[in-house]
Amino acid sequence: MISQYNIHIKGLVQGVGFRPFVYRLATDMHLHGYVDNRNDGVFVMIQATPSQKDDFVKGLTTHKPDVAEIETVTVLEKPVSKPLPDFFIAPSREVDNHITRISPDIAVCDECLQDLISQPHRIRYPFINCTHCGPRFSIINALPYDRPGTTMSVFRMCPECEAEYTDVRDRRFHAQPIACNHCGPHYHLFMKNGYETVDYEEILSRMAAVLRQGGVVALKGLGGFNLICNAENEKAICRLREIKKRYKKPFAVMFPDVPTLSHYLNILPLEKEIVSSWRRPIVLLEEKQKIGTGINDGYKTVGAMLPYLPVHYHLFASSELKALVMTSGNRGDNPILTDNDAALSDLLREVDLFVEHNRDISNRVDDSIVQVVGSQPRIIRRSRGFTPEPLSLKFDTEGILAFGAERVSMFALGKDKEIILSQYIGDLKNRETYLFYREALDKFCLLFRFTPRYLVCDAHPDYFSTQLALQLAQRFQIPLLRVQHHHAHAAAVMAEYGLTEDVIAVCLDGTGYGDDGCIWGGEIFRCNQSEYRRIAHLPYVPLPGGDAAAKSPWRMAVSYLKSIYGSKADYPETFIERLGESHIRQIEMLIEKGVNTPLTSSAGRLFDAVASLLGICDENTYQAEAAALLEQIAENGISRCYPINSDNPLDLRSLFDGILKDYRLSVPVSEIASVFHNTLSAMLLNIIIQKVKTERLTTVVLSGGVFQNKRLTNLLIKQLANRKISYYLSSRIPCNDGAIAVGQLYIAALKKRG
């Protein structure tokens, strides 16, 4: 008995070869019907028997393209209205403003890697791709997603490619960036002495030679230029640091394959799955064997990734190197370079080889970073391989534009019932980054046919994102909502899990503008989507010199000691030796006089203070350096805690008593760091238990950049689980300020709904 089945498939099913896959599946099963791209997914109609239908639906999930992610499949049975003679792909409907799905960029697939060896017109062709892999978001200029809307539009398909492109049974059917040796983009090498070549094999062998000799190569990648050197060559790393003016922050390392990676790093099955997924993010892994000096000094972890472009595979093969530093091609805190001319003039004189290609990058994307915490992937930096995948909500978000924060800025827009988060952008006070933010904003509005009708930004009056929001609200006469920073942090987690009920939110981060004009950052809220009440916070201490204190952890050491012990502050001898009595005295004076010394409850600054007291880091050269080093030095297997004041669990006095005493008794710093984490976790657990009881709530939300600290987070969530307290911690959205726009948007959506 043949019925007609209307099958609706939602998830990441567009731009990833899903329709041809459905076509092949249906025709292999000799089913009749059609497949069609819709606003919110793929629609399939088949005329089949119930058992054929079952097999078909099963086949959808078992044989789907790797990249495709099916969220839901709904099947509706109908009587056959009109028997169809075959199965076909219906042309995409031009639906009003709704074609919003753009796939993230996808690492080259195994089949394409195979084709590199066997397909005559694509032998070693480095821009090979198919409907299952290749560039997507990074090359798109306009919708709909087809070739003219991408930066591939300037390349004319050769007859061979065109035949594949139009053959529904071919893996390259409608592969928009399709290309081959005859018709596609190519690499172009430049040397300081004026030598140039476009011969790929020569470029490869020159790059391999330079890398082997300890040189630095600039290579245009997928979402921007990369700077590359041999990760096992200390001198090369030094030079790279000099070029980038990045002297301490760890570099990410690319390994040729999992076995090589596992030689250097410990990797769990879930981590292995993530690092080799088509998204190919950088994954933070524990070091088993030192790779090279200067990559991650002070760290036990390394940011590791696997090749995602054909050229990466070729580079490993021709250089026979085992680990390459692969970092963004930029200087200082500028955004990653994407433009050939700009990169050439900026980088050529600095590096040994400069290699660009002639496929333009339309949307800049950095490498994404993920770590596994509490057996969940947690994204830290969301860009390549993730952007612009939306977050689905249960209610309307249309027209809301959220501006995010400042130092780790990302914006978000509301489309239908989704939140579309921009790629990672960076620190807005950097002018190039601010321009990137503005450009990306324009691009997203265009790509997603988005018209802002409701704006939401941070409460900080001087964030550049706030100022831009104010300007736009005035120019277009649209309402603007300002959201407290940590409420946004909490709301971002609520958005990810669709929470609408009241929760206890623990927001730990560096700096957020508080309602009382103080600088918040160690906050316990009772909140929901529309309002929050601050029910506890880390004790206020002076922030001597404002931002200067965030740059100089030692100032916070002085601040805490002076706040807790007053004139009896007894600094460790080594601290005084390093910083000098007069400098310490000066900071004490700032605190006494209250000159440019606001109060702060920042958790980040607490880590800073402890790191400096222990002699781990007195000055931050990059964001959260002291806190990261304090986490990294902490030793495993130590379970003791400093005493906790059960009446006032966030009281810090006994914590500092303990730290100073241990330090004087020459307890190893690695042990003190560990005890500090244990104690902080126990303090948080205590306050949570207390508040869960008094507020009569059962759900806890954890958010803020401090939860990037794996040790603290693991300790706390284990304890929460033991106590059967349900907690939520972001997974697909960063917990740092990259989340702020999502939280802002979530809060605004409710306000707008009224």
Partner 1 sequence: LGHGSGGTLTQSLIDEIFYPAFSNPFLQQQHDGTVLPLMSQHIAFTTDSFVVSPLFFPGGNIGDLAVNGTVNDLLCCGATPLYLSAGFILEEGLPLEDLKKIVKTMAKAAEKAGITIVTGDTKVVEKGKCDGVFINTSGIGSIQKNLRISPKNVTEGDIVIVTGPIGEHGVCILSTRENLGFESKIKSDTVALRSMVMNLLSGIPNIHMLRDATRGGIASTLNEIADTAQVSIALDESKIPIEEPVLSACELLGLDPLYVANEGVLLVILPPEEAESALQIIKNDPNGSKAEIIGEVVKGTPGEVYLNTALGSSRIIGRLSGEQLPRIC
For the annotated catalytic residues, the residue numbers are 19, 37
Q: Residue 697: phi, psi to the nearest 5?
A: -120, 160
Contact status: 116 vs Zn ion (CB under 5 A): no
Segment interacting with partner 1 (CB under 8 A) among 315-323, 505-513, 607-615, 708-716: 505-513
Is omega for the bond preceding 144 within 30 degrees of 0, making it cis?
yes
Residue position matching structure tokens 């004490």:
588
Q: Minimum distance from CB of 281 to Fe ion (Å)?
A: 22
Told to check if 667 binds Zn ion by CB under 5 A, we report no
Residue 30, judged by CB atoms within 10 A of its CB (0-12, 13-18, 19+), counts as: exposed
Candidates 36-44, 150-158, 228-236, 286-294: pick the segment binding Zn ion (CB under 5 A).
150-158
| 211 lies in the binding site for Zn ion (CB under 5 A) | no
Q: Which is nearer to partner 1, 179 or 706 (CB)?
A: 706
Query: CB of 148 within 8 A of CB of 179?
Result: no
User: Are 547 and 556 within 8 A, CB to CB?
Assistant: no
Kindly report whether the peptide bond that precedes residue 65 is cis, defined as omega within 30 degrees of 0. Answer: no
The DSSP letter of residue 409 is B
- The CB-of-445 to partner 1 minimum distance in angstroms stands at 17
Least distance in angstroms from the C-beta of 135 to partner 1:
28
Q: Which of 87, 145, 190, 513 binds partner 1 (CB under 8 A)?
A: 513
Residue 545 binding target from partner 1, Zn ion, Fe ion, none, CB below 5 to 8 Å by type = partner 1
184 binds partner 1 (CB under 8 A): no
Binding mask 448-467 for partner 1 (x = CB under 8 A): ------------xxxxx--x
> Is residue 13 a contact residue for partner 1 (CB under 8 A)?
no
Check binding of 109 to Zn ion (CB under 5 A): yes
Contact positions vs Fe ion (CB under 5 A): 509, 737
Count residues binding partner 1 (CB under 8 A): 52
**Region near Zn ion per CB under 5 A, out of 28-36, 140-148, 172-180, 352-360:** 172-180
**Of these, 161, 283, 413, 590, which contacts Zn ion (CB under 5 A)?**
161
User: 640 is written with which tokens?
Assistant: 């003791």
Q: Which of 109, 133, 265, 405 forms a contact with partner 1 (CB under 8 A)? A: 405
Residue 96: how many other CB atoms lie within 10 Å: 8
Q: Which is nearer to Fe ion, 256 or 522 (CB)?
A: 522
**Residue 160 or residue 671: which is nearer to Zn ion going by CB?**
160
- Piece of the chain touching partner 1 by CB under 8 A; list 180-188, 275-283, 425-433, 632-640: 425-433
Output the six-digit token pair for 692.
């869960």
Nearer to partner 1, 74 or 471 (CB): 471
Question: Please, what is the minimum distance in Å from the beta carbon of residue 104 to Zn ion?
Answer: 15
Q: Which does 130 bind (CB under 5 to 8 A by kind): Fe ion, Zn ion, partner 1, none?
A: Zn ion
Q: 709 is written with which tokens?
A: 């600290």
Q: Is 473 left (phi over 0), alpha (psi -120 to 50) or beta?
A: alpha
- CA–CA separation, 519 vs 506, rounded Å? 16
484 binds partner 1 (CB under 8 A): no
How far is the C-alpha of 26 from the C-alpha of 22, rounded, in Å?
6
Should residue 408 be labelled a site residue for partner 1 when binding is judged by CB under 8 A? yes
Least distance from C-beta 655 to partner 1, angstroms? Answer: 23
Provide the β-strand partners of residue 304: 253, 283
Output 603 or 610, the one with its CB closest to Fe ion.
603
Q: What does the alpha-carbon distance between residue 49 and residue 29 come to, in Å, rounded to a whole number?
A: 11
SS3 611: helix
Nearest approach in angstroms of CB 331 to partner 1 is 5
**Under rule CB under 8 A, residue 214 binds partner 1:** no
Q: Which of 308, 280, 411, 422 is nearest to 363 (CA)?
A: 422
φ, ψ for residue 581, nearest 5 deg: -55, -40
Can you give the three-state secondary structure of 299-345, one letter per residue?
CCEEEEECCCCHHHHHHHHHHCCCCEEEEECCCCCCCCCCCHHHHHH
Q: Residue 138: which of 223, 238, 55 has the closest Cα?
A: 223
Token pair 């740059």 is found at 551
- Tell me if 112 contacts Zn ion by CB under 5 A: yes
Q: Which of 42, 46, 130, 733 binds Zn ion (CB under 5 A)?
A: 130
Please report, as residue ranges, which positions from 573 to 632 form the binding site for Zn ion (by CB under 5 A). Answer: none
Interface with partner 1 (CB under 8 A), residue from 10, 249, 429, 732: 429
User: Judged by CB under 8 A, which of 590, 659, 669, 675 binds partner 1?
Assistant: 590
Alpha carbon distance 498, 392 (integer Å):
9
Residues 47, 42: Cα–Cα separation, whole Å: 17
Among 59, 144, 598, 615, binds partner 1 (CB under 8 A): 598
Interaction between residue 152 and Zn ion (CB under 5 A): no
Q: Are 376 and 369 in contact (CB under 8 A)?
A: no
Q: Are 65 and 12 in contact (CB under 8 A)?
A: no
| 249 touching partner 1, by CB under 8 A | no
The neighbour count for residue 547, using CB atoms within 10 Å, is 11
Encoded one letter per residue, x for contact with partner 1 by CB under 8 A and - for no contact, window 633-672 reads ----------------------------------------
**Nearer of residues 484 and 559 to Fe ion, judged by Cβ:** 484
**593 membership: H or E segment, kind and range:** helix 581-593
For residue 510, give the nearest of 642, 659, 408 by alpha carbon: 408
Binding of Zn ion at residue 73 (CB under 5 A)? no
Cα(752)–Cα(754) distance, rounded to whole angstroms? 5
Tell which one of 596, 694, 698, 726 touches partner 1 (CB under 8 A). Answer: 596
Stretch that binds partner 1, among 107-115, 255-263, 279-287, 399-407 (CB under 8 A): 399-407
Interacting residue with partner 1 among 256, 399, 544, 649 (CB under 8 A): 544
Dist. CA 400–CA 571, nearest whole Å? 51
Give how many residues touch Zn ion by CB under 5 A: 10
Return d(Cα 492, Cα 730) in angstroms, integer. 8
SS3 164: helix
Candidate segments 145-153, 183-191, 592-600, 691-699, binder of partner 1 by CB under 8 A = 592-600
**Phi, psi at residue 205, to the nearest 5°?**
-70, -30
Q: Which of 98, 288, 331, 417 binds partner 1 (CB under 8 A)?
A: 331
What is the C-alpha separation between 505 and 343, in angstroms, rounded? 44
Q: How far apart are CA 482 and CA 747, in angstroms?
A: 10
Question: Residues 6 or more apart from 248 whose CB is under 8 A from it?
Answer: 297, 621, 622, 625
Is 271 among the residues that bind partner 1 (CB under 8 A)? no
Whichever of 170 and 432 has its CB closer to Zn ion, that residue is 170
Can residue 482 be called a binding residue for partner 1 (CB under 8 A)? no
432 binding partner 1? (CB under 8 A) = yes
Assess 546 for contact with partner 1 (CB under 8 A). yes
Q: Which does 730 bind (CB under 5 to 8 A by kind): partner 1, Zn ion, Fe ion, none?
A: none
Nearer to partner 1, 151 or 330 (CB): 330
Judged by CB under 8 A, the residue of 736, 744, 745, 749 near partner 1 is: 736
SS3 for 468-501 is HHHHHHHHHCCCEEEECHHHHHHHHHHHHHCCCC
What 3-state class would DSSP assign to 275?
helix
Instruction: Please say which residue, 108 or 494, places its beta carbon nearer to Zn ion.
Output: 108
CB-count exposure of residue 380 (10 Å: 0-12, 13-18, 19+): buried
| Sites of contact with partner 1 (CB under 8 A) | 245, 331-334, 405-408, 428-432, 434-435, 438, 460-464, 467, 509-513, 519, 543-551, 586-587, 589-590, 593, 595-596, 598, 600, 604, 623, 705, 736-737
| Sites of contact with Zn ion (CB under 5 A) | 109, 112, 130, 132-133, 158, 161, 180, 182-183
